[in-house]
Amino acid sequence: MKKQLISLWVWLNAAGVVLIWVPWMALVYAFTVPFDPGRYTVGRWFRRAAIAVTSVNPMWKFRTTGFRIRDPRRPYVAVANHESFADIFLISHLPWEMKWLSKESIFKIPMMGWMMRMAGDIAVRRGDVSSRRAALDACRDRLSKRVSVMIMPEGTRSSTGEIQSFHDGAFRLAIETGCPILPIAVAGTRAALNKGSWVMGRANAIARVLEPVETAGMTLDDVAELRDRVRLMIVEARAGLLRELQTA
């Protein structure tokens, strides 16, 4: 019962944050987008909403470690494993902006979807080839405007806790645009919010940013090798994080 009450309190606070953030983001959007076509500033404000929600949740302890980007306007194709919806809240703590590739249904949530669209996040309809093609074109647009994109190449959350195989899209995109891959290993969010449940759990979670993988000189023939190499990096880093969390 205690978890349910805390979860209700956190979700009510989240609703309050959204009510404050929507008009503020609309104002930031109106004043900055003419000078910031990549929507970097308005996107950063959107990620701060996730940080605000996390800060009022006594059951979540989130932190980020690892590589830190020196130039936030050098575009990367960031990829991470996907454990939970809470991954969004955790990765938003990173101190630079990335446009998220997210399933279309999230964009249909009132106010949340509005903020995502203002931030320049990218919708994709699962199982729709034309939607995936349009989403990748939108990713190229964000990268060309010197803003990184965030893609979860498993496509959906793991039901077993094991990292699933990665799809090619993010790695093909990185090679075609010449942008480095930025691997991110996530551990601990699985306990934060179970799939299909609104009740939050106690979670000590970490996102570790790994060294970027340059794609300069690669061709599309290198997609599979790049994909598998990055997946192995994330698998090994996540295993280390899980050991770290167990001894904490």
* pLDDT means over runs of 10, the chain (248 residues): 85 92 96 96 97 93 95 97 94 97 90 94 89 95 98 83 92 98 96 84 94 96 97 97 88
Q: Identify the sign of the CA torsion 209, 210, 215, 221.
A: negative
- CATH assignment of the domain containing 41: 3.40.1130
- Residue keyed to tokens 């290993």: 185
For residue 122, the cross-strand partners are 101
Backbone angles phi, psi at 186, to 5 degrees: -115, 135
Cα–Cα distance measured from residue 244 to residue 9, given in angstroms and rounded to the nearest whole number: 30
Cα–Cα distance measured from residue 195 to residue 86, given in angstroms and rounded to the nearest whole number: 10
Domain hosting 162: range is 2-247
How confident is the model at residue 248, as a pLDDT?
66
How confident is the model at residue 139, as a pLDDT?
97
Tokens of 72: 């936030």
How confident is the model at residue 81, as a pLDDT?
96
Cα–Cα distance measured from residue 178 to residue 1, given in angstroms and rounded to the nearest whole number: 51
Cα–Cα distance measured from residue 224 to residue 125, given in angstroms and rounded to the nearest whole number: 24
Tokens of 95: 């101190």
Overall number of domains in the chain? 1
- Residue keyed to tokens 């404000």: 45
